[in-house]
Amino acid sequence: MRVLISCDMEGISGIVDWEQVTPGKSEWQRGRKLMAGDVNAAINGAFLGGASAVTVSDAHWNARSLELEALDARAVLHSGSPSPFSMLQGIDDAESDAGVGYDALVCIGYHAMAGAKKAVLCHTWSENVLNVWLNDMPVGEIGLNAAVAGHYGTPLIALSGDRAACREAQDLLGPDVEVAVVKQGTGRFAAECLPLPIAREKICEAVATAVARRKRGEGTPPFRVATPVRLAVEFKFPHQADRAFLMPGVDRVSGVKLEYVAPDMVMAMRAFRALTLLAGE
């Protein structure tokens, strides 16, 4: 039972502001410690639930937010960027020579999609993306990553973040996704935060329960998106869409909205990352 833990930062216990999740800013070092605390609770939960191996994918910013020395030594860490799968680096291990994949995906410190209500630091990949759709279904980072994992037959079984992120995961993937609500957003830069020992206990428990259920063959199935995948991205400004439109094969739907048809979810995600990179500031 191999578990991949994707760890973002905006949904980490106690985090409420960019100042705490941006390298070089005043509260950055403090934010990293908080992040390591939540991910260690998840690693512990995975092993308590019966995992045989745990890999952590650093999923925030340049993927150098987690310090190896701060992590539970039972886990392996994917660090650094750009990597082929970004927030889910390692997910394609199923196709490695070893022939072993991940039986489950756990998302820690995740946040709600751009524009969500009472959602701490909500966004979708970039501050310049207003909306993303997969086959007309609105998605944020939770949906995008769940769909990439689904391509490999790996279900997203547990997620931690604020109430809005946890609700978004269950609305999209069903009530069987175990969630750990570590804070309740009262605004985009404000939240009621649980005490750390309680938040981490909730994370550990949610992950342990989800892994144990997965071992019994229960719980949420892989999130599979119908192929070909029609990806649509709405940017904040037309000049960003002007630049993203340079990608061959893209359709311009409006001043700010582009569409791209990809053969599968892995290619759709690569296209999404390329479009956001091209769009720039």
- Residues marked active site are found at 123
Are 45 and 51 in contact, with CB atoms under 8 Å apart? Answer: no
Measured from the CB of residue 8, what is the shortest distance to Zn ion in angstroms?
4
Nearer of residues 21 and 51 to Zn ion, judged by Cβ: 21
Nearer of residues 9 and 113 to Zn ion, judged by Cβ: 9
Are 121 and 164 in contact, with CB atoms under 8 Å apart? Answer: no
Nearer of residues 15 and 43 to Zn ion, judged by Cβ: 15
Measured from the CB of residue 181, what is the shortest distance to Zn ion in angstroms?
18
Measured from the CB of residue 60, what is the shortest distance to Zn ion in angstroms?
4
Nearer of residues 57 and 262 to Zn ion, judged by Cβ: 57
Strands 229-235, 129-134: parallel, antiparallel or unpaired by DSSP? antiparallel
**Which residues contact Zn ion by CB under 5 A?**
8-9, 60
Would you state the structure tokens that stand for residue 38, as one six-digit string? 């939540």
Distances from the Cα of 56 to the Cαs of 16, 40, 124, 138, in angstroms? 23, 10, 21, 27
Measured from the CB of residue 85, what is the shortest distance to Zn ion in angstroms?
15
Instruction: Tell whether omega for the bond before 222 is within 30 degrees of 0, i.e. cis.
Output: no
125, β-bridge pairs: none
Q: Which H or E run includes 272?
A: helix 265-279
Looking at beta carbons, which residue is closest to Zn ion?
60
